[in-house]
């Protein structure tokens, strides 16, 4: 005799309740981060509507007047729109092109290192800068490039050259930002790639040695194929954040002389929203930035899935 829908539903409900009671600790553990995300990430999203309003503190978010796309049109039509977007995109691409290969090369080099002591020493030296606070990091860069007492200018002067005021030259700002970022993060970023390399079956290397493969051929035919899926994932994440350039470091390195090369969307939002209290306009710029990032990560993920069959989802 076939069971009715209600009896089957009750039976499943009973099984679910038993499973819930049996593993309630796991559900509690999941609930805490889920509550955090809902409360602090999704909860404040109702405030996005101020991007489409002329926000008035006295009227509040819901009492302010709607202005539709006014703030978006204002930003896109502003005289510095192209310069700000170009600075943001160019710094991100510069960091991606030169910053992505360095941790990979470092991880492969450490994996090929035979001396454990030397390997640990290099890892310690390259990991340490990542844990330096950004304020201290920028201070170190500014002191090293100081016109009068900086170590770089002292070396230039000792070799008979002319001292250069690096931080006042817009054409040098992006290179200073990217190179100092590579130095600070290359060790920490290499951990992921090194973990992939250490997980490779040693018998593959043994077989390659028996076949007479050189070290470069082992890297090419064993290491890189295992690293490619991870590289693609990191590339997707980097391209999805191409409109997000770290605010803190750029703002600390910024001055009036290099402003033409250092003004990005993040610093512009801060100045407009916090310093000038133009909350609606800054919210519109931030939403514009987020939408572009969202579209980019979806498109890049689709392309990566078709080309390499590796993607985030």
Q: Under a CB-based contact definition with an 8 Å cutoff, are residues 296 and 242 in contact?
A: yes
Same domain, 20 and 161: no
As to burial, measured by CB atoms within 10 angstroms (0-12 exposed, 13-18 middle, 19+ buried), residue 72 is middle
SS3 274: helix
Question: What is the total count of domains within the chain?
Answer: 2
Give the chain's length: 313
Alpha carbons 217 and 219: distance in angstroms, whole number: 5
pLDDT for 12:
54
Q: Under a CB-based contact definition with an 8 Å cutoff, are residues 253 and 261 in contact?
A: no
Does any domain span residue 208? yes
What is the reported pTM? 0.82
The CATH number of the domain where 158 resides is what? 1.10.3720.10
pLDDT for 15:
53
Cα atoms in the Cβ-side hemisphere of radius 13 Å centred on 118: 7
Q: Under a CB-based contact definition with an 8 Å cutoff, are residues 170 and 254 in contact?
A: no
Q: Count other C-beta atoms under 10 Å from residue 267's C-beta.
A: 20
Alpha carbons 206 and 209: distance in angstroms, whole number: 5
Same domain, 114 and 146: yes
Same domain, 156 and 235: yes
Q: Under a CB-based contact definition with an 8 Å cutoff, are residues 184 and 132 in contact?
A: yes
Same domain, 93 and 197: yes
Both tokens of 169, joined, read 């030259």
pLDDT for 8:
45
Q: How far is CA 55 from the centre of its chain?
A: 31
Same domain, 122 and 183: yes
Q: What is the pLDDT along the chain (313 residues), one digit of tens a residue?
A: 444 555 545 555 555 677 777 778 888 888 889 999 999 888 888 888 899 998 888 888 888 889 889 999 999 998 889 999 999 999 999 999 999 999 999 999 998 888 889 989 999 999 999 999 999 999 999 999 998 888 999 999 999 889 999 999 999 999 999 999 999 999 999 999 999 998 888 898 888 888 888 888 889 889 999 999 899 888 888 888 888 887 899 999 999 999 999 999 999 999 988 888 888 999 999 999 888 888 888 888 888 888 777 777 7
Same domain, 14 and 115: no
Q: Under a CB-based contact definition with an 8 Å cutoff, are residues 301 and 312 in contact?
A: yes
| Tokens 């951990």, located at residue | 191
Same domain, 247 and 162: yes
Alpha carbons 218 and 134: distance in angstroms, whole number: 38
pLDDT for 92:
92
Same domain, 274 and 132: yes
Domain that holds residue 21: 5-49
């Amino acid at each position: 005799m076939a069971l009715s829908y209600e009896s089957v539903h009750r039976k499943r409900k009973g099984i679910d309740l038993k499973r819930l009671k049996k593993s309630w600790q796991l559900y509690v553990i999941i609930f805490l981060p889920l509550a955090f995300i809902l409360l602090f990430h999704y909860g404040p999203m109702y405030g996005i509507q101020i991007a489409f309003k002329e926000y008035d503190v006295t009227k509040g978010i819901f009492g302010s007047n709607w202005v539709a796309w006014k703030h978006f049109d204002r930003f896109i039509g502003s005289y510095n729109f192209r310069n700000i977007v170009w600075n943001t995109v160019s710094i991100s691409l510069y960091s991606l092109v030169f910053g992505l290969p360095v941790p990979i090369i470092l991880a492969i080099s450490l994996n090929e290192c035979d001396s454990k002591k030397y390997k640990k020493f290099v890892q310690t030296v390259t990991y340490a800068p990542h844990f330096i606070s950004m304020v201290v990091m920028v201070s170190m860069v500014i002191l090293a490039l100081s016109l009068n007492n900086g170590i770089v200018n002292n070396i230039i002067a000792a070799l008979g050259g002319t001292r250069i005021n690096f931080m006042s030259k817009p054409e040098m700002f992006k290179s200073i930002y990217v190179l100092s970022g590579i130095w600070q993060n290359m060790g920490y970023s290499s951990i992921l790639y090194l973990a992939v390399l250490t997980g490779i079956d040693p018998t593959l290397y043994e077989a390659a040695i028996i076949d007479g493969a050189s070290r470069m051929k082992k890297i090419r035919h064993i290491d890189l194929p295992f690293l490619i899926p991870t590289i693609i994932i990191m590339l997707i994440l980097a391209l999805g954040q191409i409109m997000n350039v770290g605010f803190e470091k750029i703002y600390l390195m910024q001055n009036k002389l290099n402003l033409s090369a250092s003004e990005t969307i993040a610093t512009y939002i801060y100045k407009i929203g916090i310093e000038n209290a133009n909350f609606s306009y800054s919210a519109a710029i931030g939403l514009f930035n987020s939408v572009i990032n969202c579209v980019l990560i979806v498109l890049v993920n689709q392309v990566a899935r078709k080309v390499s069959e590796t993607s985030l989802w």
